[in-house]
Each structure stands twice: as C-alpha cells, then as structure tokens.
Amino acid sequence: MKTIDELLADGVDGKRVFVRADLNVPLDGGTITDDGRIRAVLPTVKALADAGAKVVVASHLGRPKGAPDPAFSLAPAAARLGELLGRDVAFATDTVGESAQATVAGLTGGQVAVLENLRFNAGETAKDDAERAAFAEQLAALADAYVGDGFGAVHRKHASVFDLPKRLPHYAGYLIATEVGVLKQLTEDVKRPYVVALGGAKVSDKLAVIDQLLGKADRLLIGGGMAYTFLKAKGYEVGISLLQEDQVPVVQEYMERAEKNGVELVLPVDVLVATEFPDLKTKAPATFTTVDADAIPADQEGLDIGPKTRELYASKLADAATVFWNGPMGVFEHPDYAGGTRAVAQALVEADGFTVVGGGDSAAAVRTLGFDENAFGHISTGGGASLEYLEGKTLPGLAALED
C-alpha cells in the first residue's frame, strides 16, 4: 500500500486531504476520559497540515442509529484535537450537508476541520452496497486524496473505510503503517518464546484467535471473565461467575489441542470472589475473598485473578521474546479488582522482549492504571482489528488501501 510519505513527496499544498481517523473515545457526558486514540492520529494530521494541506478529519463515535444523536457528537473530540495540535480546528455539524461543505470550502492551506460523527448518516454502516456507495460519493466530493489512519475501524466494511478510498488516490497514514508493521511481527518470523495473554469478558470473542494461536504461540495465559468457561471445562465449580456454557465443549477441544501441539495453556490457580458485582460509579470498597480456582463458592463470582496467579503469569511472561496481550484480567475499573491487570501490565514493562498491548480495554487499563505508554513496545488503537488480523481475516479497510 502507498504511504502518506509518498503523498507528501508529491506535494499537498492547498489540496483537500480526507483523513479517516479513529476518534472513538470514551466519554463521560461531554468529557473525554481517555484521549489515546486522538493522540495516535496526531502525527498524520500534523504532517499534512504542516505541508499546507486542507485536512478534513472524519470518524465515528459510539453506535448511533444512523441519525444525529447529541450524546455521540464528535465536538469534544474536535476540541481536544485542536488542543493537542495547538491550532484551531473547525467543526462541521453534519457529515456531508451544508455545514460540512461550507466548513471544507472555508479551509485554507494548513487548516484542519473535523466532520460530525459519520454514523449519523445511515449510509456509513449500511449493508446495502449502493447505499454505502452513495454516501462515499458525497464524502469523496469533499476531498482530493484519502489517508486511512483509523486502525480501530479497518475491520469494518463501512463507507468511509472501504468504499471511499476506491474513489480517491489513497494512502496509509502513519498509525496504520505502524499497526500493520507490529502485527506482522506477531504473525511472520516471530521471535520466541511467543506468549499471548488473553482476558476480557466473553470467550466467544476470542475463540477464532485462540484457534489460530494454538498453532503459533508457545504459551497462552487466560484471565478475565473468559477464564471461567475454561475452568468450567476442567470440571470446576465457577459459582455465578461469567460463563458461556455453550462454549464449554469448544474450549475443551482447544485445551486438548493445546496439549497435543505443545502449547502451554495456563489458567488461573486462584481468584478473587464476591457475592455481588462492585459499584463502578462510586468505587466503594468491595467485600471479597481469595479462593483457589477449584474452590469457587456456588453463590459467588470471580472478579479478578488472585495473587498466586499474578505471580505465576508474571513468571510465564518474564522470558518472553514476543508478547501480545488483549483483555484485562479482572474488573480493573474498580481498584479492588485491578491487581491482576496491573500485574500483567507490570510484567510486560519488565520483560525484555517485544511487548504489544492489543487495544480496547487493555490499552485503556494501561493508561487508567498510570503506566508510562513508552514502557511498552506498542499499544494498539484497535482491539477488534488486531484480533481479526491475528485470526488471519482480510480486513476491508486494509484491503481498500492496498488496491
């Protein structure tokens, strides 16, 4: 795929450059609680603006139903982008309507504008090819060139990700180039030992990537809510812990395959349990106990890996030459259940190998828990996209950039 450096070499002074970013940041009301994805696109936006381009930034945020919804406005993200760039950023209050057209027309070289949430237009996510194409045509009228830099959305066959680059000269931004380079290090000529730590709520979200990793990784460490389906597959009582009963047979088959393939599959040996889920708003102190993984009371649920498991997982990560981590080890949003996720993050910091934090909640946890982002080899901006790449799937947004 062509890169932004090739576009810059050809000259962008006065040209309208459409940047498909990923500004899908978490909001508490109108306040951004984690601006990591905005900071990730800064190098691309700044390089284009500094070279004299009229930069048109577009993104989705959340899951509005194809119509304007103030709760999902990109206005806070546009304001934060301006703060980080140190320059004024114009904001269009629609996607391709009068405001967008006037805002883009009013740009001079070196200026930046952000369009309103692309998903306010039903054409962005439409299943119908013609409907998506029609929206892409309207977006294309706002630009002379396209730069894809929203890695968190490249696994979606959406108008701005898949259809639009076909209508304009298209290039990969710095973020996407970096993300693809990192993922190649996790799939091609991997340095070993290769250790993967997987957490998060649902085992079903990770089955396809586990299926691939059983032939590639040396060790798999399992935590988070998905661990309880694995423990159930071993015949353990898991109480009222998060459980996908229908996935137990699949997990049992994967455990057998891991043993056959010589892949070390490591499960929690102890967990923190409680009778009720913690209050994540007040973060009031929780009442919990620590029990062995085969001794979870029937009326309690597991909410984090225990201290023995934290030490075990740290030891399994210590000698890794390559680490991929996706998914927290527990309910990290509550301080009483953040210890497992913190322990894994700390183990990655201390590891000498190449460490990748696989986006989503893992990236949010690293920042929430106060870790220096530079202490990791790479922090991805796209959890779902990273997983689908590791699954071996073709990602529509990357395929469109390669054409």
Task: Confirm whether residue 63 is marked as ligand binding.
Answer: yes
Task: Confirm whether residue 206 is marked as ligand binding.
Answer: yes
Task: Confirm whether residue 361 is marked as ligand binding.
Answer: yes
Task: Confirm whether residue 359 is marked as ligand binding.
Answer: yes
Q: Compute the CA torsion angle 161, 162, 164, 166 (nearest 10 deg).
A: 140
Single-letter amino acid, residue 22: D
293 close to 236: Cβ distance less than 8 angstroms = yes
Single-letter amino acid, residue 1: M
Task: Confirm whether residue 179 is marked as ligand binding.
Answer: no
Task: Confirm whether residue 37 is marked as ligand binding.
Answer: yes
| 343's tokens | 């322990």
Q: Provide φ and ψ at 239, rounded to 5°.
A: 60, -135
Closest CA to 396 of 217, 148, 197, 93: 148
Half-sphere exposure of 104 (CA within 13 A, CB side): 26
Task: Confirm whether residue 62 is marked as ligand binding.
Answer: yes
Active site residues: 37, 202, 360, 384
Task: Confirm whether residue 386 is marked as ligand binding.
Answer: no
Task: Confirm whether residue 24 is marked as ligand binding.
Answer: yes
Task: Confirm whether residue 403 is marked as ligand binding.
Answer: no
54 close to 15: Cβ distance less than 8 angstroms = yes
Closest CA to 126 of 100, 167, 92, 160: 160
Closest CA to 25 of 11, 39, 13: 39
Task: Confirm whether residue 22 is marked as ligand binding.
Answer: yes
Residue found by looking up tokens 């949010």 in the block: 364
The Cα-based distances of 160 to 142, 298, 344 in angstroms read 12, 48, 36
Q: Compute the CA torsion angle 302, 307, 311, 313 (nearest 10 deg).
A: 10
Give the single-character DSSP code of 161.
I
Single-letter amino acid, residue 117: N
Task: Confirm whether residue 362 is marked as ligand binding.
Answer: yes
Contacts of 351 (CB under 8 A, 6+ apart): 317, 318, 320, 323
* Distance (Å, whole) CA 140 – CA 103: 15
Please report how the helices 339-350 and 360-368 are oriented relative to each other, as an axis angle in degrees rounded to 10: 90
Largest CA distance in the chain: 67
Task: Confirm whether residue 352 is marked as ligand binding.
Answer: no
Query: Where does residue 160 rank: exposed (0-12), middle (13-18), buried (19+ CB within 10 A)?
Result: buried
Binding residues: 22-24, 37, 60-63, 119, 156, 206, 302, 333, 359-362
Binding site membership for ATP: which residues?
206, 302, 333, 359-362
Please state the residue numbers annotated as binding site for substrate.
22-24, 37, 60-63, 119, 156
